[in-house]
Amino acid sequence: MVLAGEATLVTNRDQIHLRAGDTIVVRGANHGWAHPAGRPFLGVSVSLDAIPTDAPPATGQDTA
């Protein structure tokens, strides 16, 4: 989520310009950020474990 300023999300396929208030979800893509030199940018990032799409569904029960 972009809290202040502007930035560009760069992936292997796209460049997406984001402004304060914008939110984006990046799912398993190589990515990076770019923003204009001399201009402040503040963002928040959350990283979560990825579960492979071919993995069996979690049952919520410990099997150990």
Sign of the Cα pseudo-torsion (24, 31, 50, 55, in order): positive
Tell me whether residue 23 is in a domain: yes
The H or E element containing residue 13 is none
Tell me whether residue 14 is in a domain: yes
Distance between CA atoms of 10 and 64, rounded to whole angstroms?
41
Amino acid 63: pLDDT: 56
Structural domain range at position 29: 2-43
Whether the CB-CB separation of 18 and 6 falls below 8 Å is answered with: yes
Q: Whole-model pTM? A: 0.65
What is the tally of structural domains in the chain?
1
Amino acid 64: pLDDT: 55
Tell me whether residue 61 is in a domain: no
Mean pLDDT taken over the chain:
84
